[in-house]
Structure 1
Amino acid sequence: MKKLTLLFFCIGFHLPHAVAADSAVILMYHRFGETRFPSTNIRLEQLNAHINELKRGPYTVLPVAEIVSRIKSGKPLPDRTVGITVDDGFKSVYEEAWPRFERANLPFTVFISTDPLDEKRASYMTWSNVRKMKAAGVDFGAHTASHLHMTAASPAQNKAEIKKSNTRLAAELGIAPSLFAYPFGEAGTEVINTVRTGGYAFSFGQHSGVVHPKSDFNYLPRFAMNENYGNDDRFKLIINALPLPVMDFTPKDTKIGQVNPPNVGFTAAPSLKNLSSLSCYVSGEGRVPVTLLGTNRIEIRATKPFAKGRTRLNCTLLGTSGRWHWLGTQFVSLKS
């Protein structure tokens, strides 16, 4: 990753600001200044650096709902458009993140799990906090009621969670949510189909990647920010990323079945060049073998079974502009 980052800065970081684009990077945060939880926390000095970069660099930060709506409808966006999301609804969103984003005039969306607020858990925001932020222009989306593992639950359980969450958000905010984020980013064909019944316009996972017109708008990618992956170099790399559009991705279901590790493959868009330089990485294993079949069919074969829980696959390709094309997928396995 050090070589990738250095190459990025040498070739194309300070590129002219293009007039229009059809893709955007969506960021995902959880906690702010809560150093007891490094895997979901961003340190305040890191957050300040992120905000400074977004304000002084060639970026346009827009509301997430506007971004994905424009991409889906074919309306152009400014090049290097960025969206900001926050999951769960911890108190540090209200106390630390919101004041900073508000001072910087940066819009953002919070995905709320409603049970912790109803139970008045000390580490979460209150409904009064949420209403105050909503009145000031912050957007809110659904994140189920209890923040459950949806792939381990039945469709009936998931539908009940969705209904309860939607009811509570509508009662407290006066409007039904149009955006949804999967807890833990865990999904699969059955879960995605269940979430579609919730009436959401767009739904988000936690797999890395760039939103573009061919994205699955029921399972959109976001780049996760935390202490380990929130340093300045990686942040700049991410917010300058480009999509890696593919078709015929296999397996179609990201919930692992009998075949583990799964046989992953996809057909890359003809616009992508130098596919022989594509690199793919699997969490828990590192770089994995990639085979190019013909001009644009990619086959990826991990050598180790995916562990119980979440496993991420990330593929990157240096573009002709010096920016990195990025494709990510998150698999989930219920078996050890």
Structure 2
Amino acid sequence: MRYFLLLLFWLALPASAQLVVLQYHHVSEQTPAVTSVTPAQFEQHLELIEQLKLPVVDLVEALEKIDNGDALQEGAVAISFDDAYTSIYQHALPALEKRGWPFVVFVNTGAVDGGHQGVMSWKQLRDLQSRGAVLANHTVDHPYLLQTPTEVTLDDWLQQQIGEAQQRLKAEVGDAPKLLAYPYGEFNLEMTTWLAKHGYKAFGQQSGPIGAQSHPQALPRFPASGVYANTDTLATKLKTLPLPVGAEQLLSPVLTDNPPTLTLRFNRGAVAAAPFQCFASGQGAIDTQQRQDGADTLIRAQAQSAIGGGRFRYNCTAASRQRPGWHYWYSQVWINTSVMPR
């Protein structure tokens, strides 16, 4: 009876306490394919969102609602861009503006100040803001934040890269929310503590939807460029549900053992799903063990062998039994700091 009542309680929670954030860089046919979608592909993505009848929401407002325990519209989607490339202004803005859809651009301010080729000017960014964009923080220089210079403390390093970028945004565009996109999606637990202390929310590049229990300084986004631009796989990602894994379970992404082990715990009454399967970058399906521990479900996953490269992920998914066509999704990023460049 207790389990039944608990299940009813969780099913009564608003199904719309979830948010999918898409991440883009270039919208161009002339830029590196790995971080690009063509204008035609971008249009296809927007048409897909329309076909699925998913609401596109303001990211800042959506995060505030999640913080306050308020419901979002079911299937809410937010759109974000990193690096303030001119192709966003040229190709993404018209497509979004004609639909009246809000979006966020994460700006590395040093590139704008330096007039880097292919990056928007402050004038263009202010125009973008006036036409529906939110401008947010992507550091000053887009560094590997984990590579703290030996001559400075972590506090000074983050103030130089994040604090000063926030000051430049405020000086050039006025109001700028304290939202950060980690360059390359890289961070450690010490950085999340610093950001929380200074009032920032932050996004990585691990995939998955945001839920009420997501860590505010390690929020996921779905990359939608390059190999991730396929509309069939994107449709699956747009219909995902967050696992109720508490923020206190966040693991350090900095690799110590290879292959690493991922462990997750969540209330089994909160998730009506088929068995979970986890996948590792470059290895596909990996050993995934699932068992019950009282009222909780425990998942343990580990790749079969060491994984190469500087960054990789474990993605764990399961089909929802309550919402046909939807999947639960949780992602853990791992960073091998001995590999440079990454």
Instruction: Decide: shared fold, TM above 0.5.
Output: yes
1:13-24 matched pairs, under 5 angstroms: 21-24=16-19
Structure 2: distance between partners of 1:73 and 1:244: 19
Q: Which residue number in structure 2 is paired with residue 325 of structure 1?
A: 328
* Residues 108-165 of structure 1: CA deviation (Å, up to 9, x unaligned): 0100000111110111011110011112231011010000111122512222111220
Structure 2: 5+ residue runs without aligned partners?
Answer: 1-12
Q: Which residue number in structure 2 is paired with residue 206 of structure 1?
A: 205
Q: Which amino acid in the other structure matches residue 48 of structure 1?
A: E
CA separation of 1:212 and 1:305: change in aligned 2, threshold 3 A:
same
Percent sequence identity over aligned pairs: 28
Structure 2: distance between partners of 1:94 and 1:112: 13
Aligned-partner SS, 1:294: strand
1:108 aligns with 2:99: no
Aligned-partner SS, 2:187: coil
**Contact conserved, 2:213 with 2:247, CA < 8 A, in 1?**
no
Aligned-partner SS, 1:298: strand
Structure 1: distance between partners of 2:262 and 2:250: 6
Q: Which residue number in structure 2 is paired with residue 219 of structure 1?
A: 218
Aligned-partner SS, 2:289: strand
1:1-336 matched pairs, under 5 angstroms: 21-153=16-148, 155=154, 156-200=156-200, 202-247=201-246, 252-257=251-256, 259-270=257-268, 271-274=270-273, 277-294=275-292, 296-320=297-321, 321-322=323-324, 323-336=326-339
CA separation of 1:249 and 1:331: change in aligned 2, threshold 3 A:
farther
**Contact conserved, 2:259 with 2:304, CA < 8 A, in 1?**
yes
Structure 2: distance between partners of 1:193 and 1:100: 37
Q: Which residue number in structure 2 is paired with residue 9 of structure 1?
A: none
Q: Which amino acid in the other structure matches residue 79 of structure 1?
A: E
Count of residues paired in the alignment: 316
Structure 1: 5+ residue runs without aligned partners?
Answer: 1-17
Task: Give the ranges of 4+ consecutive aligned residues of structure 1 lying more than 4 Å apart after TM superposition.
Answer: 247-251
Q: Which residue number in structure 2 is paired with residue 3 of structure 1?
A: none
Post-superposition offset of 1:194: 2.7
Post-superposition offset of 1:311: 1.1
Using structure 2 for the length normalisation, give the TM-score: 0.87
Post-superposition offset of 1:20: 5.8
CA RMSD of aligned residues (A): 2.0
Aligned-partner SS, 2:146: helix
